[in-house]
Each structure stands twice: as C-alpha cells, then as structure tokens.
Amino acid sequence: MVTDAEREFCFFKLGLSGSFMESLINTTFKADMNNQYKLSLGFPELIRVIQRYQSETGYWKDLVERFNKEFPASKLAA
C-alpha cells in the first residue's frame, strides 16, 4: 500500500505534480535540516517520505515496486 504522501512524491517523480506540490518538494530538497523540520510542521508525512528517499537504502526501490503494483499503468522506475 502506498500512502497519500508517497503517491504525491511518485507523481512528482513522474512529472505529474501540481505547481504547489512541485514547489514544495523542490524546496524541501534544497532545505537544510532546520528548514526541513520547519516544513515538516505543516507537511509531516511528505517531508518524512523525502527524508527517507534521501537517506534510507532500498526505500525508493520498495516504493517504486509498491506504486507500480497499485498503479500498473505507471512507468515509474527505480
């Protein structure tokens, strides 16, 4: 199962995010840990997904597999 935040991140990786979500994710990638913490106050699930993507070995591969299972027509690749 893919969470809402994980789905939004996958849509971002596919280039299918809306402008707000695209800006939020790009801002999070550019933010230092202090500012990521501040962003997490408003978007805790999404920021955690991005942090896991950046630091947890195997998370992205697992997420891609779960996303493609839930959305078989997607072209998301690890």
* pLDDT at residue 78 is higher than 90: no
* C-beta of residue 42 within 8 angstroms of C-beta of residue 31: no
Q: Largest alpha-carbon pair distance within the chain?
A: 38
pLDDT at residue 52 in the model: 98
* pLDDT at residue 75 is higher than 90: no
pTM for the structure as a whole: 0.93
Distance CA 16, CA 42 (A): 22
pLDDT at residue 76 in the model: 92
Q: pLDDT tens for residues 12-52?
A: 999 999 999 999 999 999 999 999 999 999 999 999 999 99
